[in-house]
Structure formats: C-alpha cells, structure tokens
Amino acid sequence: MNNNVTDKIVVITGASSGLGAEAARHLAGLGGTVVLGARREDRIKTLADSILAKGGKALAIETDVTDRASVQKLVDTAVKTYGRIDVLLNNAGVMPLSPLEKLRVDEWDLMIDVNIKGVLYGIAAALPHMKAQKSGHIINVSSVAGHRVLENSAVYSATKFAVRALSEGLRGEVKPYNMRTTVISPGAVQSELLNGIHDEATAEQLQKFVPNIAIGADSFARCVAFAINQPEDVDINEILFRPTRQQI
C-alpha cells in the first residue's frame, strides 16, 4: 500500500461506535495502526480483534475522555507500544439535546465535559509527544451544529463552536512543530448519537427526520483519510460536509 496513512499510528477517541468505529476500520484498511479508546471496552476489543483478523494493526484501551489521566494513558500507551503518535482523532462526543428552559443542567455539564474538556485532554496528552517528534496531526470533530445553532441545540452547538475555536487556535500555535490540524464538521451521519437524547419531545422530533436523511459513517471515514493522506506539506484545516439531501 502506498499512501500517507500507511504505517501511521492513529489514536481515536470514541472508537466504540458510529463515526469513530468506521474511521478505525477505514484507516486500518489503508494500512494505519489504530489505537482505539472508549468506555465500552467490549466494543473496542471486538473491533480491534476484527481488524487484526483482517491482517490490520489495532489496540484497544478503555478510555473515559472526561478523565484527564485516562486520556493521557491512552496516548502514552500508544507511544510506548509503537514509539510515536502520528494522528489523534478527537472524536468522542455526546449530544443530549433539549430546550434550555428544561434546565437539564447535568446534560449541559456532560456535553461540556466530553465535547470540550475531552478534546482539550486529548490535545494535552498528544501535544508534548508531537512537539518532540516535530510532526503530528490533530483532528477534532465539530459539527454542522458548530456552524449554526439549530433548534434545542444551544449547549451542544456551544461545545461544537468551541471545538472550532480550539482547532483554529491550535492551528496557529503548532506551526513551529511541523504539525497539522483539521476540524471536521459532519451533517447527519448514521450512528448511535440520537440514543443519548433523553428529552422525549426532542428525541421524538429528531427521530422523525434524522434517520431519513443521515448518510453512512463511511462518509466521515473518507474525510478523515483524505486529511491524513495529503502530503506532509499540505494541511487540510477544515472540512464541512452534509448529506446531499440535508437542507439545514
């Protein structure tokens, strides 16, 4: 295989389902070594086993991105095992949407902890290694909701706007270290994300239309591979994509 994914060490958070799991399969198929992090260890172990069975390279490490030490362990284990980290895909995220007036404050906290602090903990864990290597690529996952505030998505959108701000700040700071930074903002993609909406009216409303327009997670996996696969002097900073049939 001759591409710029082959032989790269790629750490992926939120690799147990949806976009992260599909990116892992795709990158492993292109010859990358994938290090899978998520809380559902059974899922990431099964995924790692299926990649290994196909001749790919994968390692599963139980990870909770709300725990800084856990994210550090994920990244440090990748470096200890393979000698380096080439890509961090900061993908773990939750989306318990609801109107602000419902005051589901625990869910606001959760979105801030996973979607913002989880991304920051990933950056904190990977940056020192990438600085020392003088190479590396951090890919953060935002959303169309990080570009516009949709109904009942005030807090989720706030976290995804934050991911874009962090990504742009990071981009400017890491140039001396020869690092690349990408933020990917997907539209509706098939995954388990809607299962995390516990406000009944919001869940019902979204279940009515999202599954009808959502596209496969392979769409996201190809975007990730596209960004990584560029020659090292090409830095793809932003990708925003939607299903062709998605209007908002």
Ligand X SMILES: NC(=O)c1ccc[n+]([C@@H]2O[C@H](COP(=O)([O-])OP(=O)(O)OC[C@H]3O[C@@H](n4cnc5c(N)ncnc54)[C@H](OP(=O)(O)O)[C@@H]3O)[C@@H](O)[C@H]2O)c1
The residues assigned a catalytic role are 156
CA distance 46 to 159: 30
Contact by Cβ (8 Å): 18, 217: yes
Out of 30, 34, 36, 93, which residue is the one contacting ligand X (CB under 6 A)?
Answer: 93
CA distance 173 to 123: 12
Mention every residue, 6+ apart, whose C-beta is less than 8 A from residue 38: 13, 14, 15, 16, 17, 20, 44, 62, 63, 92
Cβ count near 132 (within 10 Å): 12
Contact by Cβ (8 Å): 125, 70: no
Q: Which stretch binds ligand X (CB under 6 A): 9-17, 47-55, 73-81, 173-181?
A: 9-17
Contact by Cβ (8 Å): 225, 31: no
Is residue 88 involved in binding ligand X (CB under 6 A)? no
Out of 18, 32, 56, 96, which residue is the one contacting ligand X (CB under 6 A)?
Answer: 18
Name residues contacting ligand X, limited to 44-83 (CB under 6 A).
Answer: 63-66
What is the DSSP-derived secondary structure letter of residue 37? E
Q: Which stretch binds ligand X (CB under 6 A): 32-40, 51-59, 75-83, 224-232?
A: 32-40
- Identity of the residue, 73 or 131, whose beta carbon is nearer to ligand X in the bound complex: 73
Tokens of 207: 């279940």
Residues 94-113 as x/- pattern, contact with ligand X by CB under 6 A: xx------------------
CB of 17 to ligand X, least distance (A): 4
Q: Which residue's entry shows tokens 């990504």?
A: 167
Is residue 243 involved in binding ligand X (CB under 6 A)? no
Q: H or E stretch including 93?
A: none
CB of 119 to ligand X, least distance (A): 9
Residues 164-203 as x/- pattern, contact with ligand X by CB under 6 A: ----------------------x-xx-xxx----------
Contact by Cβ (8 Å): 111, 90: no
CB of 235 to ligand X, least distance (A): 21
Residues at the contact surface with ligand X, assessed by CB under 6 A:
13-20, 38-40, 43, 63-66, 91-95, 114, 141, 143, 186, 188-189, 191-193
